[in-house]
Amino acid sequence: MTGRWKGTYTCGQGLTGFNLDIADVGGGAVSAVLGFGPIESNPGVPNGRYSMTGRLDPRSLTLLPKAWIEKPSGYVMVGLAAELPGQDPDVLSGTVTSPACTTFRVTR
């Protein structure tokens, strides 16, 4: 699961592009940086980035927001949750853990 992932998620602002850089910190703990921004079909989304902490086990990945690195006005940090393993080890999909959001999908 470690490394760079790229894809989209859906929240109140609509479909949003994002990168997710996941690093193993040992003992099942992971850290991540989520960077988001516009995509062709939704060019009004600003750029933003924040750090995350989480847990990785054989069945799931859970990432919780930690601290803003680049905060656009009016945006809040969201968490991510995914069930593992999926059909394809290079695809990660799950739920964005915020009431205004739905799902995410990233590939590496």
Task: Give the model confidence (pLDDT) of 78-90 as tens digits.
Answer: 999 999 877 888 9
Q: pTM of this prediction?
A: 0.94
Task: Give the model confidence (pLDDT) of 36-50 as tens digits.
Answer: 999 999 999 999 999
- Beta carbons of 23 and 30 less than 8 angstroms apart: yes
State the burial class of residue 99 (Cβ atoms within 10 Å of its Cβ: 0-12, 13-18, 19+): exposed
